[in-house]
Amino acid sequence: MAPAVAVMTVALLYPIAYMVYASFLDWNPSQRIGEATFVGLRNYTSLWSDESFKESLQVTLKFAAFVVSLEMVIGVGLALLLDRNIRGMSVLRTIFILPMMIAPIVVGLIWRYMYHPTVGVFNKTLNSFGFESVPWLSDSFWSLTSIIIADIWQWTPFIFILSLAALQSLPKSALEAARIDGASGWQQIIHIKLPLMLPVLIVTCLLRLIDAFKVLEVVLVMTNGGPGLSTEILSLRIARTASEFRELGVAAAMSNYLLLVLMMLTIAMFVYTKISESRAEKLKRAVEEY
Amino acid sequence: MTLLKSIAGLSAGMLLASSAIAGPYDPYKGTTLVVNFPAHPHYDAVKRVLPEFTKETGIRVEVDQLQYLKMREKQTLELTKNKGDYDLLAYVVFSKADYVYADQLENLAKYFMNPKLADPNYDADDLIEGYVANIGVAGGKKGYMSGPTGSLFGVPFGSETSVLGYRKDIFEKHGLEVPETYDELLDLACKIPELEPGMGGLASRAASGHHASHAFLLHLAPLGGRIFDDEWNPTVNNAAGVKAAQALKTIVECGPEGSKTFGFAEAGASFLQGTSAMFLDSTVFAGSVNDPSKSKVVGKIGWAPHPMGVRKGSQTGGFGIAIPKNANNKEAAFLLMQWLTSKKADKLVALAGGNPSRYSTHADAEVNAKFPHMAVFGEALKDADPDWRPIIPVWGKINADLGTSLSKVLTEDLDIQIALDGVAERSKVIMEEAGYYTWQ
């Protein structure tokens, strides 16, 4: 027990403690950490008067909210549609999860070329049908939309795969009973499938949410945060603060804010699993007693 | 015994004789230097020339090449170590502020004073003055330029200025004059799309951040503006600043399709693909216009100096080379630095496709025969402005803010005055925090 605790403390907590300590320093990368001056909570408080940080936080929240909700709807929807025995299903499933397996930098590059104003496939297609070109990456509304679309393309399969697994492990008896009672397709989905899938869906959703808050490479390659600050998500802001502005303390403070948000989500996930477990336990006991 | 003595005497005599005629490089023969260079056309050319150095001196050179934007991070780590891995490094000009301020680069005075190391035929007067002031010297005027209190920490190597590239065929076809002033330039930039439908006037970078800021600064100096006045008060939002931003906006609006998000590479590609008629940016680009594998406009490009506004002022930038304080072989590194920036090697590098840092190389007949644009570049260099952007440690932050604000001007139609007022206001806070107003 003791060695395990020691290893955990050193390997897990030391880097986090280091980051927390760094967030109280005015530290630039040309200094060793010992040479940096201690500034208390200044890095944390000054961020709230930093318009760019606030804008970046807003962008992150907007991005995470949109991608996760759209991905959930599309992913679960696809799973419900494809939960049947079609020939070639396994091939189809493999193809579906391909986007997830591509390196993020490559995803960014692919989409950047597809969004290219003149030679990109989207504008070329639009033009050939006689429509105007869309400023995919050069307009603040469209560029955020563009990165949301790319993220949905990449990560919907994740939700699809998990929902499909959940669907296929649903108790057949409940569905059969419903069918015999004459429930329509929609009724089965709304009253039986979705409620039974809910525990998996919530965990999936939280995992995606945590991931969406940390997305970096795809945005970095596609827009590098622009135009203006319209796609400068928090992780990009942190990276720039550390390397471009050379303010390691401020970057650490930002990371800690992000960590807090993610921690709250994780705790929410933990609490939810605990509650549902205890509820299942209670139900089981009730059944046994009965 | 006598035989032994005489042999000893003879060999001692030979030893003396050989040390008397020893060359400056002999003590360092067999040394291996580790140098950090960017992946950049100039340094690719340098790599082709380096074997010549090893042949001449017996000093071996190991090159660690990095993407140039990644160098600062790696070097910052290297320079804070007790014993560094690099004996010589090429640095991006704005790193000078960080490295010199953190006392991480060797002051070159003691090397140039050392008669065993300094080559009397080095001819430092031949080094392009603006580059030396911008890249090599620190501690003079405003802290980052040359002046009575300045001293040398690096030597420009792979330096760049801005020039105007234009399509000779298009200009001839419509009887256009090569612009010499900003009014002519802006006028022409918007006239070309009318004359040649589908073609942009001038390909400029404009992407949010560093690119937009760089493009703006290119116009700011010739139009008479500066980021700060001599007391470090932001002046970026004065009339000249507004005019520069207006110029950038005009250029981007009359530019090729999609130019609002162009970085340096995209702007260059547009010019090489023949979708814009002019290009105003770094000289480093000139090497690729006549390369048929990259360019569709081989043989159609002419070069002219950066047009003037109220004054002439092209950019100064690129790289310098310096010896880290924690280097292992400083003297040998100095010899390499001196050799690379000598007249002979500057010419060799230029012939291999690099950017020379000496006036004499720009005027050299052999170099001009191979690269006819070199004479124009040499002319442009005389107006290179070492103060076109401030090289201070907080510049990274101000530069980013300027770049995103200008991007908003270009893509969201934010009012120029409001945008620049915002930059000035925020810069003031950054400068205040950094202590620039302590004496006011």
Q: Which residues contact B91 (CB under 8 A, 6 or more apart)?
A: B71, B72, B75, B99, B154, B319, B320, B321, B322
Task: State pLDDT tens for residues B163-195.
Answer: 999 999 999 999 999 999 999 999 999 999 999
Parallel, antiparallel, or unpaired: how do β-strands B301-305 and B88-92 relate?
Answer: unpaired
Parallel, antiparallel, or unpaired: how do β-strands B317-322 and B155-160 relate?
Answer: antiparallel
Residues B390 and B397: their CA atoms lie apart, in Å, by 12
In the 8-state DSSP scheme, what is residue A190? I
Residue A124 is inside which H or E element, if any?
helix A121-128
Furthest-apart CA atoms within chain A: distance in Å: 75
Residue B155 is predicted with a pLDDT of 96
Cα end-to-end distance, chain B, whole Å: 82
Interface test with A, best of B213, B404, B409 (most A CBs within 10 A): B404
CATH code at position B356: 3.40.190.10
SS3 B201: strand
Residue B3 is predicted with a pLDDT of 52
Are the CB atoms for B188 and B250 separated by under 8 Å? no
Selected residue with higher pLDDT from B69 and B437: B437
Cα torsion B75, B77, B79, B84 to 10°: value is: -100
Tokens of A210: 């945590």
CB < 8 Å to A227, chain B: 207-208, 260-261, 407-408, 410-412
CA A160 to chain CA centroid, nearest Å: 14
Tell me if A31 and B258 make a contact (CB, 8 A cut-off). no
Tell me if B397 and A245 make a contact (CB, 8 A cut-off). yes
Q: If you search the block for the tokens 């200008």, which residue do you land on?
A: B406
SS3 B281: strand
What pLDDT band is residue B19 in, cutting at 50, 70 and 90? very low
Residue A83 is predicted with a pLDDT of 82
Same domain, B157 and B184: no
Task: State pLDDT tens for residues B400-432.
Answer: 999 999 999 998 889 999 999 999 999 999 999
Q: If you search the block for the tokens 């998990």, which residue do you land on?
A: A162
Q: If you search the block for the tokens 């020691």, which residue do you land on?
A: A6
Residue B239 belongs to some domain of the structure: yes
Residue B357 belongs to some domain of the structure: yes
Q: Is the peptide bond prior to B234 cis by the omega test (within 30 degrees of 0)? A: no
Q: In what order do the strands lie in the sheet with B155-160?
A: B60-66, B32-38, B88-92, B317-322, B155-160
Domains assigned to chain A: 2-289 (1.10.3720.10)
SS3 B135: helix
Q: Report the residue count for chain B.
A: 440
DSSP string of B153-176?
Answer: --EEEEEE-EEEEEEHHHHHHTTP
Last residue of a domain, one of B357, B381, B405: B381
Q: Which of A242, A239, A223 is nearest to A231 (CA)?
A: A223
Tokens of A185: 């397709």
Residue B422 is predicted with a pLDDT of 95
Same domain, B94 and B54: yes
Cα end-to-end distance, chain A, whole Å: 41
Residue B264 belongs to some domain of the structure: yes
Q: If you search the block for the tokens 């200009």, which residue do you land on?
A: B171
Q: Chain B: residue nearest A222 by CA?
A: B261
Residue B190 is predicted with a pLDDT of 95
Same domain, B266 and B328: no
Residue B51 belongs to some domain of the structure: yes
Same domain, B309 and B341: no
| A 248-267 → B contacts, CB under 8 A | none
| A 175-234 → B contacts, CB under 8 A | 223-229, 232
Number of domains in chain B: 2
Interface test with B, best of A42, A55, A111, A138 (most B CBs within 10 A): A138
The pLDDT of residue B1 is above 70: no
Are the CB atoms for B233 and B428 separated by under 8 Å? yes
Same domain, B228 and B94: no
Residue A260 identity: L
Tokens of B248: 């950038």
Residue B203 identity: A
Cβ–Cβ contact A133 with B under 8 A: yes
Can you say whether residue B205 is alpha, beta or left, with left for phi > 0 and alpha for psi between -120 and 50 degrees? beta
Task: State pLDDT tens for residues B211-246.
Answer: 999 999 999 999 999 999 999 999 999 999 999 999
Mean pLDDT on B272-298: 88
Same domain, B321 and B311: no
* Helices B343-351 + B330-340 axis angle, to 10: 60
Tell me if B208 and A224 make a contact (CB, 8 A cut-off). yes
DSSP string of B63-96?
Answer: EEEE-TTTHHHHHHHHHTSSS-S-SEEEEETTHH
Are the CB atoms for B14 and B43 separated by under 8 Å? no
Residue B438 is predicted with a pLDDT of 93
Tell me if A225 and B208 make a contact (CB, 8 A cut-off). yes
Parallel, antiparallel, or unpaired: how do β-strands B88-92 and B32-38 relate?
Answer: parallel
Compute CA distances A128 → A71, A116, A121, A132, B258, whole Å.
Answer: 30, 15, 10, 10, 18
Residues A209 and B231: their CA atoms lie apart, in Å, by 48
- Burial (0-12, 13-18, 19+ Cβ within 10 Å), A247: buried
Same domain, B191 and B217: yes
Q: Which of B75, B68, B131 is nearest to B325 (CA)?
A: B75
Q: If you search the block for the tokens 């929240």, which residue do you land on?
A: A61
Residue B12 is predicted with a pLDDT of 47
Residue B354 belongs to some domain of the structure: yes
Are the CB atoms for A83 and A168 separated by under 8 Å? yes
* ipTM of model: 0.76
Query: How close is the nearest chain A Cα to the Cα of B408, in Å?
Result: 5
Lowest mean pLDDT among B32-36, B208-212, B339-343: B208-212
Tokens of B214: 């760089």
Are the CB atoms for B216 and B207 separated by under 8 Å? no
DSSP string of A135-179?
Answer: -TTTSHHHHHHHHHHHHHHHHHHHHHHHHHHHHHTS-HHHHHHHH
Same domain, B104 and B31: yes
The pLDDT of residue B15 is above 80: no
Residues B121 and B342: their CA atoms lie apart, in Å, by 9
Tell me if A226 and B407 make a contact (CB, 8 A cut-off). yes
What pLDDT band is residue B107 in, cutting at 50, 70 and 90? very high
SS3 A117: coil
**Any idea what the Cα angle at residue B423 is, between residues B417 and B429, rounded to 5°?**
135
Tokens of B57: 């001196």
Residue B439 belongs to some domain of the structure: no
Same domain, B250 and B127: no
Same domain, B128 and B239: no
Residues B237 and B229: their CA atoms lie apart, in Å, by 12
Q: Which of B336, B335, B358, B339 is nearest to B114 (CA)?
A: B335
Same domain, B357 and B374: yes
Same domain, B296 and B416: yes
Q: Domain range for residue B209?
A: 163-315+394-433
Cβ–Cβ contact A245 with B under 8 A: yes
Compute CA distances A59 → A52, A136, A141, whole Å.
Answer: 10, 17, 11
Tell me if A31 and B104 make a contact (CB, 8 A cut-off). no
Parallel, antiparallel, or unpaired: how do β-strands B151-152 and A37-38 relate?
Answer: unpaired
Residue B321 is inside which H or E element, if any?
strand B317-322
In which residue ranges of chain A is pLDDT below 50? none
